[in-house]
Structure 1
Amino acid sequence: MSSVESDRRERRRVVRAVKESLRDLNIQLALLNRQIGTQVNLKDVDWSCLDLLNRHGPLTPTALARKAGLHPATLTGILDRLQRGGWIVRERDPDGPDRRAITVRARRERNQEVYRLFSGMNAQMDALCEDYTDDELALIAGFLQRTTGAGRTATERLAED
């Protein structure tokens, strides 16, 4: 086997290991999110919508449905559950062009409950990051951001089909 073939084979092995590790991470984070959701009585999809509102909100229901990849009718039930649980508020914009239009806002004062549940993972991540240099962490952050972008692009393409 030539050195070029050996290098290619090694590259494929390492790329496959990265992809498998990302799949494992996805599964583990989904399990963690599910456990936390159970603790605060949120379904996975409710939790995702709440996280989107915390990160990008306030949003109109249409904008949130788009970001979450959900049909607006499905989102109505999710918003009803989140509002009953005290996680969000729906607010009318009295100055808006459509007086019926609403904006959905996360009640950030509730976030402390969730932060407490994530504290174990956050502490472990802090300890893990101590093993890396600033340059290595910047490289990892860049890789994860690019991976997120690739996932967003793949999701958008599937939604177009």
Structure 2
Amino acid sequence: MLARDDIIAALGAAMADLQAAIDADDQALADRLGVHRTDLRCLDLVFRHGPLPAGRLARMLGLTPGSVTALVDRLAKADYVRRMPDPTHGRRVLIVPTDRAARIVTELLGTRLAEAHAEVADFSNTELDAIVRFLRSAADRHERSAAQLRGQS
């Protein structure tokens, strides 16, 4: 069994390797879809959080409303998102993924998701809970760091 310091060092190295692998994978996916990385981030948010108003997307992406308009225009032209009226707000529109985008993402990521589901079967509920707590803590830490680097409180 490794000493605690060695395990923590191995965890740090594994996190760095994971971050680099995710970065490379995101770039490859953006290239495959023919979009910018920020466009890919937008698609991710729309898929994960459901229909979103452009203003909220702008805040989530750290962009100006005008930049998000141009980004959504690009994604709409590529048939990855569409605008739909917000049923709860007369003048607002929501950004939603298209059926084409859902089909493409499922085709490209389906095998990876199946592999991930198979891998987590080897972990106990206690281990999975610990992994979730660690990943959420890491995500919070990175979000705080990003805000600090951007000069926000």
Q: What is the CA-CA distance between 1:12 and the residue it aligns to?
A: 4.6
Distance 1:46 1:94 in 2: 25
Structure 2 match to 1:38: 31
Report whether the alignment pairs 1:27 with 2:27: no
Counterpart residue identity of residue 107, structure 2: R
Distance 1:150 1:111 in 2: 30
Structure 1 match to 2:44: 51
Q: Which is bigger in relative contact order (C-alpha 8 A, separation at least 6)?
A: 1
Report whether the alignment pairs 1:79 with 2:40: no
The 8 Å contact of residues 54 and 108 in structure 1, kept in 2 or not, is answered as no
1:156 maps to which of 125, 128, 147: 147
Report whether the alignment pairs 1:123 with 2:78: no
Q: Deviations over 1:13-42 (max 9, x none)?
A: 433332232121111112122222222222
Structure 2 match to 1:90: 83
Stretches of structure 1 that go unaligned for 5 or more consecutive residues are 1-9
Root-mean-square deviation (Å): 2.4
Structure 2 match to 1:111: 102
Specify the SS of the correspondent of 2:79: coil
Specify the SS of the correspondent of 2:71: helix
Identity score, percent = 26
Q: What is the CA-CA distance between 1:80 and the residue it aligns to?
A: 1.0
Q: What is the CA-CA distance between 1:70 and the residue it aligns to?
A: 2.0
Corresponding pairs, count: 150
2:131 maps to which of 117, 136, 140: 140
Stretches of structure 2 that go unaligned for 5 or more consecutive residues are none
Q: What is the CA-CA distance between 1:49 and the residue it aligns to?
A: 0.4
Higher Cα Rg: structure 1 or 2? 1
Distance 2:127 2:16 in 1: 22
2:55 maps to which of 62, 70, 85: 62
Q: Report the TM-score when normalising by structure 1.
A: 0.78
Counterpart residue identity of residue 33, structure 2: V
Structure 2 match to 1:7: none
